[in-house]
Structure 1
Amino acid sequence: MRRVLILGGTAEARALAAELAGELAGGGTHVVSSLAGRVTNPRLPVGEVREGGFGGPDGLAAWLTAERIDAVVDATHPFAARMTASAAEASARTGVPLLILRRPGWRESPDDAWRRVASLEEAAARLADLPVERVFLTTGRRSLPVFTGLSGVWLLARSVDPPDAPVPANVQVLLDRGPYTVEGERSLILEHRLDVLVTKDSGGEMTVAKLVAARELGLPVIMVDRPPPPPGVRAVDSVAVAAAWAQG
């Protein structure tokens, strides 16, 4: 029986698991979805689920061998660079084929005012150079320390789970989970008098409403570019293509 590991946690990973479960219900393939366990109460895919990390590339390579995995699809978040690097290294060590499934990034329109940067640190440096005081920060709870050293800047930091304590006095944490609406994002920006949005190029429809609202309100956006895939590893943006590949 063919055994496929999906490194998941995204809508694309859940869609892939569902498609494989539907197409392969007659047998011949066993699919395991792995979740890192970084989000409380994650949305679970259909089929077998494994929660928790592997212990880096060594642990993942050992697990692939012990579980006789035939193929791996890395459908983690576009910014899960460490997991993707571990998957690439484990694949190279074991010879288990690896495919990366990533949703397309967002595209800037002529009416947008984006400033693209390569890292969170560069985003924080850009904030220091802009005449802004109230920041809408949607780069994840683990990124908060990068931005809290800025003087004269107040942050509305939105995340699914609370950041580690202590939270600086100039930060208000908003716990929420998408999908979001343009009307809701517009109201949030106006209510808190926000004058810049800082976000990652995660792509997808669940959180794109903030970009539409920023465009309509004339807000500048600091957009952190996603890291490139490891060299030599194929990356696709279609669940159907990934499903066909996983079936061999």
Structure 2
Amino acid sequence: MSAGVLILGGTGEARRLAAALAGRPEIRVVSSLAGRVNDPRLPEGEVRVGGFGGPDRMAVWLRDQRIRAVVDATHPFAERITASAVRATELAGVPLLVLRRPGWRPEEGDDWRWARSLEDAAASLPSLGRRVFLTTGRQGLPVFAGLDALWFLIRTVDPPEPPLPAHHHLILDRGPYTPDGERSLMREHRIDVLVTKDSGGTMTVAKLAAARTLGLPVVVVHRPPLPACHVAETVEAALTWLHTLL
């Protein structure tokens, strides 16, 4: 019987891991997507969409499906999913690996202002500029809704739900982006400050290069802490962990 591996996905790393495992007959790989993004990029292999209904039900699913390992390869800021995965794997007695790509690091010429949370990021904006490029995702936008003195260029993959900032322009788009394109966008909208989460990776890093060359400050929101479990930073390291385990 093939060994069951559950990948909590939605990231490029999750898709690459699923592709590396999909051709192995000794492994049954199942990728789980939260279903929060319309028209997601689907990984290879078996896919399920939607939540499990909490860690208790996820633990039951893991047992029923005879899953022997779980890899949490969700977004670095999907802390509720990660917390649920930790609890569910503890209940089911299944090993868990958290696959998290490294965060971004400032380079020479960067003007980064670290924030502990979206709330801290919002509080810092009035002193940094009047026109804000907001790239923190659609779920945290209500945090910025009360900043009526500021104007926001908001970019998300799917349409956000209100409340939104009173003065804004919305762009629906998905990376990867280029430094030239990001510079043109920031110049066109006369951006004073960029706000981002420390997502890491290459899909959206071009905005940081653009802000650097334009001399713009960047408010960077810290990642939530990782749980006390096995952690890998690359797909290759995750494959090594799975090979050793299975």
TM-score, scaled to structure 1: 0.95
CA distance in 2, matches of 1:131, 1:107: 21
Task: State the Cα distance separating 1:60 from its structure 2 match.
Answer: 1.1
Partner of 1:48: 46
CA distance in 2, matches of 1:94, 1:140: 32
Q: Aligned runs of 1:34-113 on 2, under 5 Å?
A: 34-113=32-111
Q: Aligned runs of 1:1-248 on 2, under 5 Å?
A: 1-22=2-23, 24=24, 27-128=25-126, 130-165=127-162, 167-231=164-228, 233-247=229-243, 248=246
The change in CA–CA distance for 1:116 and 1:166 in structure 2 (over 3 A counts) is closer
Alpha-carbon contact 2:17-2:239 (below 8 Å) kept: yes
CA distance in 1, matches of 2:133, 2:150: 11
For residues 215-248 of structure 1, the C-alpha deviation after alignment (integer angstroms, 9 at most, x for no partner) is: 00000000001111112x1111110111122232
CA distance in 1, matches of 2:53, 2:219: 33
CA distance in 1, matches of 2:128, 2:221: 19
For residues 192-231 of structure 1, the C-alpha deviation after alignment (integer angstroms, 9 at most, x for no partner) is: 0000000000001110000000000000000001111112
The change in CA–CA distance for 1:180 and 1:146 in structure 2 (over 3 A counts) is same
CA distance in 2, matches of 1:178, 1:223: 18
Return 184-193 or 102-111, whichever deviates more: 102-111
The unaligned stretches of length 5 or more in structure 1 are none
Q: Segments of 4+ in structure 1 off by > 3 A? A: 165-169
CA distance in 2, matches of 1:218, 1:166: 31
Amino acid at match of 1:211: L
Alpha-carbon contact 2:109-2:212 (below 8 Å) kept: yes
The unaligned stretches of length 5 or more in structure 2 are none
SS at match of 2:60: helix
Sequence identity of aligned pairs in percent?
Answer: 63
Q: Please tell me the root mean square deviation across aligned C-alpha atoms, in Å.
A: 1.1
